[in-house]
Each structure stands twice: as structure tokens, then as C-alpha cells.
Amino acid sequence: MHEFSLCNSVMRIIERQASATGFARVNSVRLEIGALANVEIDALRFSFAATSRGTIADGARLEIIETPAYAWCPECAGEVIVKSRIEGCPVCAATLVNLRGGDMLHVREMEVE
């Protein structure tokens, strides 16, 4: 389950930010997760609770913003929302769309004290 690895990376980001800015406690973490990031949300929540235990983020609320995946369609000359990496354009059925986003996980913001 790679969600533990993702949460370990999130915890490293939190620790670096705490070291750089001096906050002592994290009350909430907001993650932005793309539709094609291959993240199981329930597993991520479980992993976050486990990896944050005993840290400055222990008990922090995890907020998740799910974002769609976008691709550029050269036939339509526009951006479209796709549901998979291999899906063609939902407008014109062109098969050579270029993924433009929706496959990332970002720490969007944290509420700290």
C-alpha cells in the first residue's frame, strides 16, 4: 500500500516547514489529490493517522480536495477532463490527448499553531 509512503512524504514536508517557520502543532492538513493519482482515499486517511501518531501532526484533521484530470486535445484544440490515462477525448474521440494534470498529490495548506 503506497499510501503509507505518501503519508511519510507528507510528514517530512510538515517537519521541514515546522523547522523553517517554528510552529509547534498542526491542527489540519489539506491535500489536493488528482483523479489519476492512484490514491485510495480511505487507505490514505488510515495511513495519515498512523504516520502522524506521536508527531506535531498527531490528531490533525486531514482534508482532501479531489481534483479532476485534464488533458489537451490537439483535435479539439482545447482542454478536456479525462477519467483515465488511456481514455481518448470525450468530445471528439481523438486518441492522442496529452495529460496536463490530475495525477499529483500536493500539500495545499496547513493550519498550525
DSSP 3-state assignment of 91? Answer: coil
Question: At 97, which CATH number?
Answer: 3.30.2320.50
Which residues span the domain enclosing 24? 3-112
Mean pLDDT, 10 residues at a time, over the chain (113 residues)? 93 97 97 96 97 98 97 93 89 89 95 97
pLDDT of residue 109: 97
pLDDT of residue 41: 96
pLDDT of residue 96: 81
Q: How many independent structural domains does the chain possess?
A: 1
